[in-house]
């Protein structure tokens, strides 16, 4: 059985249980496996969509996948049932009640050690004041505004124009 089939089977299990206990017909949500980082799953009730992190298959096993899918289905069902309320807390009383209805413990977080999403490297660009020669590190966004839009940044102290110093460029991982 492939991963999509496993997730669909779990979704069907939880929707069937909810439909039977609540006397309603909840539609099957769309499924996406485009979720990265430390989050195991996310529910988007307006799009009726569940996103699953594929890493949980490798790290957590099928029971962890089942719990994650049930957790996200509970979010969707909670919003469908309690839509009349203005603000539903993501893991509040309504969600906990729905989790218990689905036969799951209303636990908020997983305890798997999922890999972090790819870290972005932020480039800093060094500029020097033409008046007092004070140095400034500008972000890539500000540097591009200078290069492509002709934006001019000025020194905070003397008000003179800042000039790019290309031989000094710093990288910071964030």
Concerning whether 72 is annotated as a catalytic residue, the answer is yes
Residues 129 and 94 grouped into a single domain: no
Total domain count, the chain? 2
Q: Is residue 169 part of a domain?
A: yes
Residues 16 and 83 grouped into a single domain: yes
Residue 17 to residues 4, 59, 87, 99, 171, Cα–Cα distance (Å):
20, 27, 25, 11, 52
Q: Is residue 143 part of a domain?
A: yes
Residues 126 and 158 grouped into a single domain: yes
Residues 12 and 90 grouped into a single domain: yes
What is the structure's pLDDT at 38? 79
Count CB-CB contacts under 10 A for residue 134. 14
Residues 48 and 129 grouped into a single domain: no
pLDDT tens for each residue of 14-52 = 999 999 999 999 999 999 999 888 788 999 999 999 999
Residues 51 and 19 grouped into a single domain: yes
Q: Is residue 64 part of a domain?
A: yes
Lowest-confidence region among 28-32, 37-41, 100-104, 165-169? 165-169
Residues 97 and 49 grouped into a single domain: yes
- Judge whether 112 and 64 are in contact, CB under 8 Å: yes
**Which residue among the candidates 8, 13, 63, 72 is catalytic per the annotation?**
72
Q: Is residue 115 part of a domain?
A: no
Percent of all residues in the chain with a pLDDT value above 70, rounded to a whole number? 89
pLDDT tens for each residue of 46-88 = 999 999 988 887 777 788 889 999 999 999 999 999 877 778 8
Residues 79 and 148 grouped into a single domain: no
Domain limits for position 145: 121-173
The CATH number covering residue 52 comes to: 3.30.2010.10
Three-class SS string for 28-96?
CCEEECCCCCCCCEEEECCCCEEEECCHHHHHCHHHHHHHHHHHHHHHHHHHHHCCCCCCCCCCCHHHH
Q: Is residue 152 part of a domain?
A: yes
């Amino acid at each position: 059985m492939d991963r999509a089939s496993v997730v669909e089977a779990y979704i069907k299990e939880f929707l069937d249980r909810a439909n039977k206990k609540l006397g309603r017909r909840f539609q099957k949500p769309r499924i996406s496996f485009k979720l990265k980082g430390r989050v195991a799953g996310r529910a988007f009730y307006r799009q009726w969509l569940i996103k699953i992190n594929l890493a949980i298959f490798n790290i957590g096993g099928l029971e962890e996948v089942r719990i994650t899918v049930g957790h996200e289905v509970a979010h969707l069902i909670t919003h469908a049932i309690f839509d009349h309320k203005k603000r539903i807390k993501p893991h509040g009383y309504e969600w906990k009640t729905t989790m218990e209805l689905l036969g799951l413990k209303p636990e908020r977080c997983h305890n798997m050690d999922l890999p972090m999403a790819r870290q972005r490297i932020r480039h800093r660009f060094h500029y020097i004041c033409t008046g007092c020669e004070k140095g400034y590190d500008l972000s890539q966004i500000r540097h591009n505004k200078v290069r492509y839009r002709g934006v001019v940044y000025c020194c905070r102290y003397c008000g003179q124009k800042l000039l790019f110093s290309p031989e000094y460029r710093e990288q910071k991982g964030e």
